[in-house]
Every structure is written in structure tokens, then in C-alpha cells.
Chain A
Amino acid sequence: GNSVTQMEGPVTLSEEAFLTINCTYTATGYPSLFWYVQYPGEGLQLLLKATKADDKGSNKGFEATYRKETTSFHLEKGSVQVSDSAVYFCALSNTGNQFYFGTGTSLTVIP
């Protein structure tokens, strides 16, 4: 079946620290992979996506590379800011339009 396993939180980092949030997936075929971000009191916003193996999605300084050999899509940012404090969700989409979400990782960045 299809599933997403996401790094447990919460994560607390100092401003300008390096961020990695791990995400691995199980899927049949060739899924598309996504990272969504949910700021406090808001809905989910698409952060980045990748649709095939070795694709790198990037946005707002965040990056993630679709690694088929390790079934991973880890989210990274070189220097986090206080404004990056949010909950991050990894997700996959496979045939049939169904989306599968990870449990979410809460990030707090302190000045």
C-alpha cells in the first residue's frame, strides 16, 4: 500500500541553524511527493513538490530531492528563520488522486 513516515517532532532550532526533516514513503509505482506547510491558524500551503526520481523541489530556501533508491524525500533548509516556525507535512500522491499525509513535524525557531 501507500504510506508516509515522517520524522517525529517537535523540533526546536536556533535561528540560522540547518534544518532536516526526514520523510520516507512506501508506494506502488511512481508517486509524486510533496511538502506542505501549515502556519499557526492557517490551512496547508504547498511548499514544494517533485514528480519523478532525482527531481529536486525547491521554494523559499527549502529543498527536497526525490530519492527512489532510499524511498525518501527529506526536507532541508540551510538557515532557518523565526518565520519558518510551522508544522510541515510530507505527502505522496499515487494513482487514483488519493493523497497520503505524514503525521506532521512541528518546527519552532527561536531567535
Chain B
Amino acid sequence: SAVISQKPSRDICQRGTSLTIQCQVDSQVTMMFWYRQQPGQSLTLIATANQGSEATYESGFVIDKFPISRPNLTFSTLTVSNMSPEDSSIYLCSVQEVSGTQYFGPGTRLLVL
């Protein structure tokens, strides 16, 4: 299975600022996703990161708030813009292999004050 790393692993940010989270995979993958996990909750899909084109966002998530880049098949970034305390969550990237199984990175734990 793919090995996925994320940076930073955690951060504490002030409201109104932005944070960019990086996701690196050790092999080329077509399907890459970004999820949010609010405290004590399940996972919510933010968007599918598409290589070479704009990300596909789920209902309730917009590009201005969560811009995503996917410059190649092993790397993606998610930016959380103009943060508020409600953005405090774990942000997870995942990849889907040909088998249909998704594998997850270790997550980025964000606290917004």
C-alpha cells in the first residue's frame, strides 16, 4: 500500500490567517482526496484533488475557503483560508489504489484560536 505523509502534523493558528497542508505519497496515484474530521466526529469529504485541473468540491465546501493544488501524481496541498475556530479539526489526505481501497495519511491537527 502507498505510504502517505502530511506536513505539518499539527498547528495552532490565529483566526483570520491561512494554513497550507502538504500531502506526499511515495508512489504515483490517480485518486487523491481531502477529508475533515471534526472533534469526536466521523470523516467528511472536502474534495477530490485532480491532477492538472481544478479540484472537485463536495457540497458545503468552496474553493475560496479550501483551495487545493495537485501539481503531480504524488503531491497535493490543501489550504484552509481565513480561519475561524470552527475550522479546528483534523485534516486527512487519502489515496485510492486500483483495488478500490483508500489509504490515509496521519492527519494534520489544527487548532484555531
Residues in chain A within 8 A of chain B (CB atoms): 32, 34, 36, 41-46, 49, 51, 89, 93, 97-99, 101-104
Contact = CB atoms under 8 A, between A and B. Distances in A.
A11 to B, nearest CB: 15
Contact of A46 (B6, B41, B103, B109): B103
A43 B104 contact: yes
Contacts of B6: 43
8 contacts: A34-B102, A43-B107, A44-B94, A93-B102, A97-B96, A101-B42, A102-B42, A104-B41
Q: Lowest 7 A-B CB distances belong to which pairs?
A: A44-B104, A43-B106, A43-B107, A43-B104, A103-B42, A101-B42, A101-B43
**How would you classify the secondary structure of chain B's contact residues: helix, strand, loop or mixed?**
strand
Interface of B: 1, 6, 31, 41-43, 45, 48, 92, 94, 96, 100-107, 109
Contact of B42 (A34, A49, A93, A104): A104
A86 to B, nearest CB: 14
B92 A44 contact: yes
A32 B100 contact: yes
A50 to B, nearest CB: 11
Contacts of B42: 89, 101-104
Contact of B101 (A42, A46, A98, A102): A46
Contacts of B45: 98-99
B1 A46 contact: yes
A42 B43 contact: no
B11 to A, nearest CB: 14
Contacts of A41: 109
Contacts of A49: 101
